[in-house]
Amino acid sequence: MQQHGDQYIGGAWRDSLGSESIAVLNPATEEVLASVPAGTAEDVDTAVAAARAAARAWGATAPEERLAYLTRLRDGLAARQSEIAGTVVAELGAPIGFATAVQAGLPLAVAQSYLDILAGYAFTEQVGNSIVYAEPAGVVAAITPWNYPLHQIVAKVVPALAAGCTVVLKPAEDTPLVARLFAAIVHEAGLPAGVFNLVTGVGAVAGAALAGHPGVDLVSFTGSTAVGRLIAETAGGGVKRVALELGGKSANVVLPGADLTRAVSVNVGNVMSNSGQTCSAWTRLLVPADQYQEAVAIAVKAAAKYVPGDPAAAETRLGPVVSAKQRARVRGYIETAVREGARVATGGAEPPEGLDRGFYVRPTILADVTPEMTVAQEEIFGPVLSILAYRDEEHALEIANGTDYGLAGGVWAADNETAVAFARRMDTGQVDINGGRFNPIAPFGGYKGSGVGRELGRHGLEEFLQPKSLQF
């Protein structure tokens, strides 16, 4: 077991100022992988001071200079793809194939996208008799989740650095090892001391201290809507900017005339990926009432391909969820669904056969779900798909928009025009049309309780910039 007692602050690894530690578990075996320091408010103070001291000089660098540093950072991510994937398999339980392609591959693609954007971005603009400068927002607190641990780090830290901001990162306590690996890559890239800082710790201590710190100018948080509200309240007291990427309860709407088999099969794959621990997952499948039973049968057949197993094995498509707490949460939602009248078409709350250790959940399809049920309203964050029937298009739209969330969604129709017309009426930030692929340079973020602001692409860079006008 690796025992780490240091934080990355001011360009060096320094002993944490607290005495407590966090045990990092392997969710497939329940064994302790490592321990990291449970950072204190004093650690946060030190890190913010380092970021503040570096902010003015880093913000004044030419974009070409920042581009050179970030290119070395990108090269470090590329060189360590195998190590990154293995780390995420160990601490998150993501299957090795998925960890390689997505958990390691996507952050590399996102980093490259920001190199491309930075190389061509105009930080000044003539507007009438004014020159408008896009200047860095200042010191950024980046608070990231465990489900896509490196992707979320890269999606915040790289555009913040590209904008000329300095950063203090507080990663999720369940998956801090890949964050430490990222800090090592930053160090190898030679960024100036204090430009990037890492403090591991629990949200209620280190995260809260960071969100409310008077030396922080902008808080970028990804996580639950409940915690996002608290961070927004805390940041608001200090008149800080916030960027919040929060929960989702996304609807995948299959309109009459669509390819039902493909739509349902893709939906099942979407929900089972990363063991359902994806904020934008299509956890509600909406199908016409006269095709309902056929859709359930297709979903059950598709779910059978996702057999829980060892995430380190190449053939595994469904690993464990991240923790015992998460497993209890997901199983609890399945039990609640049954009590409220839903039917388990496959899966269920019982432990998977042959897996006595590890935080495993059966891939579950819930049928006879109605819009007011808990599983149709609240984010489960596990391999659970709810299938709902609708009467007509207006009823489908009412169901799709009938939650507190609005992060993502899908629409399937006989033609793209029909799907687009429906998608434009959905209260959500991203919609995939007839199976459209994820685009890492398109803005990602939500409506309503799913957040404020956008990540990825040009919009993601501009979250970390602020305009200054000079009149002549």
Catalytic site positions: 245, 279
Sheet holding 384-390, edge to edge: 343-346, 364-367, 384-390, 284-288, 251-254, 409-412, 432-433
Distance separating alpha carbons of residues 119 and 34, to the nearest angstrom: 39
Q: In sequence order, which residues have a C-beta less than 8 Å from that of residue 124 and are 6 or more positions away?
A: 131, 132, 133, 134
What is the SS3 assignment for 394? helix
Would you say 348 and 331 are in contact if contact means Cβ atoms under 8 Å apart? no
C-alpha–C-alpha distance, residues 446 and 279, integer Å: 10
Scanning the structure block, which residue is given the tokens 């099969």? 265
Letter string b/e over residues 258-279, b meaning 16 or more CB atoms within 10 A of that residue's CB: bebeebbbbbbebbbbbbbbbb
CA distance 94 to 274: 6
SS3 content of the chain, % helix, strand, coil (to 5): 40, 20, 35
Residue 406 structure tokens: 């609005």
The residues with which 140 forms a beta bridge, in sequence order, are: 167, 218
Identify which of 128, 133, 171, 117 has the alpha carbon closest to the alpha carbon of residue 460: 117
Q: Decide: 359 and 321 in contact? Cβ < 8 Å.
A: yes
Kindly give the pairing relationship between strand 21-25 and strand 32-37.
Answer: antiparallel
Residue 351 is classified by DSSP as P
Rounded Cα gap, residues 121 and 163, in angstroms: 10
